[in-house]
Chain A
């Protein structure tokens, strides 16, 4: 069985919103119709998006850091939004695990949004149907595109490659490897929704040097007897010689 998903590396995301704009551009231009906006050029613009980048401050100044957090539908393995739908417009595809909304069947009752703990669904205020991330289902299977382009629009747009796309049920896929080896985690695991999208945590890159590594064990100086160490402020051999 296949379960397509995104793996988002929070250690690499710089919060540039390229995935947001690229997602909007692709998905507002497709055959499913636009993702409607209201008052786009006025004081309070609002509209339908599949993907948003949020920013959190972790810790308190001066010991704080910024976390940019892209959020879209997590394509849960056990999606709570699907069984509550009264019309069957919300469904999870058997073949690749993508959770989709049939815009022609949706009655816009918004019940599915109550049943999603992540707030991943947004109603299109003009078309009055529920919309959500499709993992660019109209793109990833498009054989007229070069194979390298058959990825979700957000993944293609990310300038830092913070977004990986693949089958998390294939243990050898890049996404599975990333989840397994880079500490991939799911959001709100307490609800048992088993989100397919995973996040890789922020990781501090630290150079670890142990004390015994500072001096060579086979240092000839040790063999021949210690020479007087130069003071910390004095120049060393490295500073004065060109080799």
Chain B
């Protein structure tokens, strides 16, 4: 498939935003149970604002993928059948909840909702945060399922696709949270770095598993089933157009095999190995956490490019030769 930059930005920016929100609320949950010192409301509030920046960026990027963005509102109607439609609903809902989470913290509007028998005080931000956590995962599932549900693209048609979207978004967001904390709450940095390392290792394992799986895939459709002729030697002589068509533009990445071979180790290195090393070093030198986030973001963009480029669509069987 042809990697569209709008979708590369959309998925990576949303992943970072969702991950950051999950990281912040994870911290607040730890603090609720007294495992970590509760931070100031400004900390959670400004963290949410940062998450909103990334989510907003993703939302803007999504419009560049549409041929008719002015009709985008229509895409919320088919949630019964379309994962894309579900994402269109969940994304603004999640953004709304993150916004509210930030607002109640910044303005300190934290009325107690319920006090549990154990003495745990559940205030409004905890309720909103829990809802946001559910929506963050729902959004990851929607985004992943948009790709995983297409059975014709077998490289994507696997639960690993959804798992990896969750893990890579989580990794990106927790590294961002570590960097954010290094600036605003240095005492909490180690907590995020620890989780970031764990999630990044899991993300590397998940992505490696999907690379291994994809390397073993055998195409289900062949030239023989495509045109229904039983013969081992079938060669296309003409695809019915001389200057290419939508079918030759949308489904091919247009880069050389060498480029594809180079970008795979590049994204594994930039997206996972280098950030892991920088996270370890970041325990001692917090400035490296910012570098880790930026380098990993570039790596994840490369990962997303590869994710699209690697998917081989069966329609390509019909479009092999211009002539």
A binding-site residues for B, Cβ under 8 Å: 17, 20, 39, 43-49, 52-60, 64, 66-67, 69, 71, 80, 82-89, 105-111, 113-119, 121-123, 125, 127-129, 185-191, 199, 201-202
Contacts and interface: CB of A to CB of B under 8 A. Distances in A.
Contacts of B66: 107-109
Nearest to B229: A58
A117 B315 contact: yes
B220 A190 contact: yes
A110 B68 CA distance: 11
A43 B243 contact: yes
A59 B231 CA distance: 7
Contacts of B236: 54-57
A46 B243 contact: yes
B243 A109 contact: no
A220 B318 CA distance: 61
A123 B67 contact: yes
A201 B242 CA distance: 27
Query: Interface range on chain B: under 10, 10 to 19, 20 to 34, or 35 or more?
Result: 35 or more
A157 to B, nearest CB: 15
Contacts, number: 179
Nearest to A115: B150
A83 B238 contact: no
B90 to A, nearest CB: 12
A83 B82 contact: yes
A86 B77 contact: yes
Nearest to B79: A86
Nearest to A131: B246
Interface in B219-269: 220-221, 223, 225-229, 231, 233-247, 250-251
B40 interface: no
B71 interface: yes
A158 to B, nearest CB: 16
Nearest to A63: B233
A97 to B, nearest CB: 18
22 contacts: A43-B243, A44-B242, A44-B244, A49-B240, A54-B238, A55-B236, A57-B234, A80-B151, A86-B74, A86-B76, A86-B84, A86-B85, A87-B74, A88-B77, A107-B66, A107-B68, A107-B71, A107-B72, A110-B250, A114-B150, A125-B246, A188-B314
Contact of A114 (B68, B153, B234): B153
Interface string B149-171: 11111000000000000000000
Contacts of A82: 81
B285 interface: no
B183 interface: no
Contacts of A108: 66-68
Contact of B247 (A122, A125, A191): A122
Contacts of A44: 242-244
Interface string B47-88: 000000000000000000111110110111110011111001
B152 A107 contact: no
Contact of B241 (A46, A56, A80, A86): A46
- Greatest chain A CB density within 10 A among B75, B223, B245, B246 is at B246
A88 B74 contact: yes
Contact of A56 (B235, B315, B316): B235
A45 B242 contact: yes
Contacts of A64: 233
A129 B85 CA distance: 17
Contact of B227 (A17, A60, A187): A187
Given A57-B235, A119-B251, A86 B240 contact: no
Contact of A53 (B72, B226, B227, B240): B240
A241 B68 CA distance: 80
- Greatest chain A CB density within 10 A among B65, B67, B153 is at B67
Contacts of B192: none
A188 B221 contact: yes
B75 A87 contact: yes
Contact of B228 (A46, A55, A60, A201): A201
A109 B84 contact: yes
A67 B231 CA distance: 12
A22 to B, nearest CB: 14
A106 B78 CA distance: 12
Contacts of B315: 116-119
A219 to B, nearest CB: 43
